[in-house]
Every structure is written in C-alpha cells, then in structure tokens.
Chain A
Amino acid sequence: MEQWIQLTIDGITLGGVYACIALGYTLVYGVLRMINFAHGELFMMGAFAGVYTLQGFQDHTSLNEDLPSLTITAAIFMGIVVAVVLAVLMERIAYRPLRHAPRLAPLISAIGVSIFLRNVMLRYTNARREVYPDVFPDGSIEIGDVSVSYIKLFLIGMSILFMVGLYLFIQRTKTGTAIRAVAEDRDTAALMGIDVDRTIVLTFVAGAALAGATGVCYGMYVGNAAAGMGFIPGIKAFTAAVLGGIGSVPGAMLGGYFLGLSEAYTTKLFGAQYKDVVAFVLLVAVLIFRPWGFLGKREDRRA
C-alpha cells in the first residue's frame, strides 16, 4: 500500500511538471491554433538560466549557503526572464510573419526554432550537463514507510503555485480576460479595442514564464540542466494538453496529472519500458471517444 501512495506522489510530482508545460501549449494553441513545438525548449532554457544563476552565486558569494531562499528565488526569476525574452523573440521572428500562412508553416517554423535552441545550447555546453549547486536542503518527510524528499515537495508545491497563479491571471485579470477573448474570436476582440498582436505576445509570455520557472525547479530537482532536457517533457506535456483538451486551461492541468500518474502506476505494474506505450494507448482511446479531450470544447465554427 505504501508503495502505491509513494507512486501516487511520484506521479503528482512529474504530472505537475507536465501540467505546467502543457499550459503553455494550450494557451498558445488557444489564441493561435498553433502548436508551439519550441515550448519544451523554453523549459530547457529556463533550467539553464537557473543553473547559471546559482553557479554564479556559488562562485562569487556564499549566499547559496547563507540565504538559499534568495538565490533560489533569483534563479527562478532569471529562468522566467530568459524564457520570456526568448518567447517574445520567437513569436516575433518565427511565428508572426507566418500568421496568415498555411497552418503547417508556423508548425515547421516552430520545429526549426526548437532544433535551433537545442543546438545552440549543445554547442555552448559542449553537450555536457550543467550541474546545479547543492542549494536545496537535503532530507525528507517520513510518514510511515512513505518518504517524500523536501525537493520533491518543493517541486510539487511550486508547480501547484505556478498553476494557480496562471489560472488566476487568466481568469481574474483584464489581460487574462483579453487572452480568453482573443482565443475565442480574434476579430471581435480587436473590435473591443484589444491589441490582438500584443495579447498574443502576452500569451506567449505567460506560457514561457511558467515553462521557465518550472524548468528551474525541475532542474534543481534532477540536479542538472542539459540541452536535450526539454524534448521528452515537451512531448509529454503536449500529449497532456491534447489529453485534457487542447485550448483548455483546466484540461492541461488535468491531462498533466493524469499522464504523470499513469506513468508512475504503469512503471510499477508493467515496467518503465511500457509507460509510454500505456500513455499513448490512453491518448488514442481518449481521442477516439472524446476527440476534444477531457475538458476541451468541440471545435467551433471558427476552427
């Protein structure tokens, strides 16, 4: 039994990461009907920004030991900044010029951006992993036979915090409402006086901030950053977004946790070699019976 509780915690940990990345896919899809395949790379770039920030503190100060909460906050902040700047450039250079091109064009452009960013980091790091300094306190909480390390709790907590933050931003702020308005009907949104281009950029920014921040927390959790680290989580998060209903914010969260838990349980039941098989069988099954995902809307007239 303890093992199943442990697996549930494992699934929630990874699921939270998937969910945070999936939100970026779903937001951008919402406003542009486009899959930003370079989104996983924003997660990766965030992790690098975080590791370099913490390494900087390590090399020049003793703050990593004295005041880790400050350096960790700074690392997350830098992760957000780097991911956001890249997302703005990405939108401007690779996607906006293709806004009225056939749908496949921005998709291919996104794959290009993804490959570009990955290779820039491969070259910059000489394909080595950058190791996160040990800033987070070791140790774990033990409840019976179930043990949850602090860093895992931190990751679970942060992913929930990021998601709640994003949810409130989307639901409660004027900009968030504008993003939803643009997602639903770009022309009418423009007639309201909403600057559609700016709102699209802000959508990228929101998704990127989340990916960058998650990248730092995940990097601290696994202990390193690597050029290829965004690829698989990116694919998984995309799957989660589709599973939950692409375009739906709660759907992305649900899809992320669903996928994380399915992977954890499958690892125990059938072995880790089958977790992706099970995940994709589930995806196919869901798409057969609910092509719009768990919480997605059936494609409307504007599809």
Chain B
Amino acid sequence: MRMESKKAWYRWPLMAVAVTGLALFAAACSDDDDGDDGGDETPAATSAATSGATQPAGGGETITISAGESIKIGISTTLTTDAAELGIPIRDAALLALSERPDIEGFSIENVIADDLCSGPGSEAAAQQLIAAEVVAVIGPMCSGGAVAALDDYGAENIVVITTSATNTSVTAQGATNLARTAWNDDVQGEEMAKFVYNELNLTNVVLVDDQSTYGKGLMDVFETSFTELGGTVASREVVTVGEQDYSAVVTTITGESPEMVVFGGYIAEGAALVRQLGDAGYEGAFMGADGIADQDFIDQAGEAAEGAYVSRGPQALETNFDEFIAKYIAEYGEDAGTQFTDFTYDGVNVLLNAIEQVATVNSDGDLEINQDDLIAAVKGITLENGATGTVEFLDNGDRDLAVGAINRVDQVTGGVLVELN
C-alpha cells in the first residue's frame, strides 16, 4: 500500500509533464507543417494570381481572360504513390488531347497539373492549388474518394469538373451540379447484370457471392436491389475470403439453397476457385461473374467447370474510335500504357474543349469571356461523337448515358474462351 501511494505521488506530475510536452511537440509540428506547405505553394499561387486578369468568381459569374493570357485547364491526377501507375497515363492522355487543340478563339490553352495522391486530402489540396492557379475547368480527380472530397472545393468556385476515372457511385450521388464523368458508374454494370439474368435468361432464384471488397460487395448490393425490384429472389448472400482457396463450406451452403444461378462479385482467383469447387460439388446451375473475372486466366484456373459461365464485361460503347486514339497515343508516348481510363480521359478533355468553344465569346475589348453556368450546362448537354469511348452523353446527375450507343456486354465461356453473346 505504502509503496503504491508513494509511486502514485510522483506519477501524476510526471504524466502531466509528459502530456504537456507531447501537446507542445504536436503544436510545434503542426506549425511547422503549415509553414512548409505555405512555403511550397505560395510562390506558385502568387505568381498565378498576379498573372491572372480576374479573381475567381463564385456563382454564375463570368470569367474574363485578357488578350494575351491563356485559358487554363486543371488536371488533377495521381503522379506519385502506387496509383501513379494509372495516374501518369491519364495525365499523358489529357496532354495528348490538349495538344491537338492549341487555341480557342485565338487564346492559347495552358495546362496546370496537380498531384492528387488518389486520396481525399490530396485531392482537396490539389483543388486548392488549381483554384489558386485560376483554372477554368478541371479534369479529375483521379480516384473516387478524392473526387467526393474535392467536389465541395470546386463547387464553391463553380468550376466544372469532369472526372474520367472515378467510377464509384458515390461520386455522382453527391448531387453536385458542376460534375460530369466519362467513366462508367460502377452501378451500371450491377443493374444491367440483374436485367440480363431476369429478362434474358429468365432466371428468378439466385445466390450472390462476393469477396467482401468495395468492388465485389458494391456490385452485388446493386445487383440485389435491381434484381429484387425486377421480381427476382436472392435466396442468400455468401462471401468468400480473399487469399483463401478452399471454399467447400461456402459451396455446400450455396448448393443447399439450390439456386438457378450463382452470381459472383470479385476477382479472378476467388471466382475461379468458387466455380471449380461448385463443379466438384456437382452443382449444375448457372454461374455469372463480372468484369473482375473477365480474363482468360479465370478460365484457365477454373478449368472445365468454367464452361458455360456468363461473364459481364461492363458497359461498352458499340462503336468507338479507340483504335485511332490508341494509335495516336502510341505515336506520342511510344507504347500503350495498358491501363484503363486513357480513352475516357481523352474524351473528357474533348468534351470540355468543345463546351468551352460553345460558350466562350470575345468581347469588345478583345478579352475572352466564359460564363461558368453556361459552361457547366454546355458540358452536361454535350454530345461527343466518335469519341475514343464511343458517343458521350451525360445524364442529369453527370453519369454517362448507357442508352447512347452502348451496352453492358456479356460473354459466355464457350470452348474454353470468352465469347461475346449479343
């Protein structure tokens, strides 16, 4: 007892000192951070501010660009971290599109590139950087989380944003009016799969399996909602764990439900193992997966059990100028980056430039005037023909309209390869 009370005697002051010290240290650090950030950004920001002729305006204001100045287009993409693998080709595709149209109404077009780190905070910082640089419009942010976070920043300045790669539903579900996206909403595929199963295959009783990833679970969530609305029954929902390969118990549970079809949201390794073990267990119903398994690897790994499986490949335009685009891209950069979204980005930039051409006018002083509300309306109302990703039109919420020359393509495994059905 005595020992303890003795200990306690000095413990409190000690702790108080420690806590105070920590607090001071933290405060010092955060001050430092602010200082550093300011130091890095201020020169760029100030030089941009002095070179610009107008202050960024809110609401339906008109941006005026003095003669001799350029039209600034912001590009928010990921140039560092692992995601740069996707982000750098996106930047390159945007620059390719910009280089093909050097000026509008005699005003040159200038790009301002900001690294959004594929994160919320990174994309907000990039937004502030681009806003300070007085951009007219922004291509990006690259990732869904970043787009959701930065939408408010751009919205406050009424700057139009075209994301070409943020595919999550939440991006357009924010209700932002200044947004459009050329990449397909993840949900489109889920809805289309449900329609395909219910309307085309006339199956009404399914079991859904996902891999507990954002993609896989999200896809199956949408499928469940759409399928139930159509009148179908989801007998049960099961999950598989990524990294495992023996799904016997899941398979036993599934076969216990005797579904007409098993629908899977996830990637190749788990999908192949599931199909294979369904086959081993004597399951004779149908199977459908999505773009996560749309690869020959899926068939190779699943073996004979994959035969007859349906594979949704996601929304695709029926006719595109992709070949022409990729030829230009390769001519410019030496090789196809092999990543998605370069074509969406190329189209996104062209949508933007077409819209600017529509609304920009030269006033009596020889300055270029662009009304922000007009620009947003022009982007939303655009029809881009012959794009690298087909014809681009947008729905009211900014999502791409599937009804315009596009379908959700479905393949079936036939003779050990994926064969397009429609």
Contact surface of A with B, Cβ cutoff 8 Å: 3, 6-7, 9-11, 13-14, 17, 128-129, 131, 134, 138, 140, 142, 147, 149, 151-152, 218, 221-224, 226, 228-229, 231-233, 263-265, 267-268, 271-273, 275-276
Contact = CB atoms under 8 A, between A and B. Distances in A.
B238 A271 contact: yes
Given A10-B248, A264-B249, A223 B281 contact: no
Contacts of A6: 252
Interface in B279-327: 280-282, 297, 300-304
Residue in B245, B256, B268, B301 with the greatest tally of chain A CB atoms within 10 Å: B245
B249 A224 contact: no
Contact of B276 (A223, A228, A231): A223
Most buried by A among B239, B252, B256: B252
Contacts of B238: 267, 271-272
B253 A268 contact: yes
Among the interface residues A149, A222, A276, which one has the most CB atoms of the partner chain B within 10 A?
A222
Given A14-B246, A151-B280, A152-B280, A272 B300 contact: no
B243 interface: yes
Nearest to B248: A10
Interface in B31-87: none
A263 B244 CA distance: 12
Contacts of B132: none
A223 B245 CA distance: 9
A3 B282 contact: no
A218 B304 CA distance: 18
Contacts of A265: 249
Contacts of B371: none
A9 to B, nearest CB: 8
B249 A7 contact: yes
B88 interface: no
Contact of A223 (B237, B282, B302): B302
A86 B297 CA distance: 29
Given A134-B304, A223-B276, A232 B244 contact: yes
Contacts of B244: 232-233
Interface of B: 212, 237-241, 243-253, 256, 268-269, 272-273, 276-277, 280-282, 297, 300-304
Contacts of A233: 244
A197 B62 CA distance: 82
A224 B297 CA distance: 11
A154 B111 CA distance: 63
B190 to A, nearest CB: 20
B212 A10 contact: no
Nearest to A14: B246
A218 B248 CA distance: 13
B224 to A, nearest CB: 15
B13 to A, nearest CB: 33
A13 B252 CA distance: 13
The 3 A-B residue pairs whose C-beta atoms are closest, nearest first, are A10-B248, A267-B249, A222-B245
Most buried by B among A3, A131, A226: A131
A276 B276 CA distance: 23
B246 A267 contact: no
A229 B245 contact: yes
Contact of A273 (B239, B269, B302, B303): B239
Contacts of A229: 243, 245
Contact of B269 (A142, A221, A226): A226
B249 A3 contact: no
B208 to A, nearest CB: 12
A290 B302 CA distance: 42
Nearest to B240: A272
18 contacts: A10-B248, A10-B251, A10-B252, A13-B246, A13-B248, A14-B249, A17-B246, A129-B297, A218-B245, A224-B245, A224-B269, A224-B301, A264-B249, A268-B249, A268-B253, A271-B238, A272-B240, A272-B250
Given A147-B281, A223-B272, A131 B300 contact: yes
Contacts of A138: 304
Contact of A11 (B249, B300, B301): B249
Given A13-B246, A222-B245, A3 B252 contact: yes
A10 B251 CA distance: 9
A129 B244 CA distance: 13
A222 B276 CA distance: 8
Contact of B241 (A10, A147, A264, A272): A272
A221 B244 CA distance: 13
A228 B297 CA distance: 17
A128 B297 contact: yes
Given A140-B282, A149-B281, A152-B280, A223 B301 contact: yes
Contacts of B268: 129
B64 to A, nearest CB: 52
Contacts of A152: 248, 280
B243 A232 contact: yes
Nearest to A150: B280
A139 B272 CA distance: 18
B196 to A, nearest CB: 26
A275 to B, nearest CB: 8
A273 B246 contact: no
Nearest to B302: A223
Given A140-B280, A223-B276, A226-B269, A134 B303 contact: yes
Nearest to A225: B245
B249 A147 contact: no
A92 B269 CA distance: 35
Contacts of B280: 140, 149, 151-152
B300 A264 contact: no
Given A140-B282, A147-B282, 7 more contacts: A14-B246, A152-B280, A222-B273, A229-B243, A264-B248, A272-B249, A272-B253
A272 B240 CA distance: 6
Contacts of B256: 3, 268
A14 B250 CA distance: 12
A14 B282 CA distance: 19
A6 B253 CA distance: 9
Nearest to A236: B244
B239 A272 contact: yes
B307 to A, nearest CB: 13
A275 B247 CA distance: 12
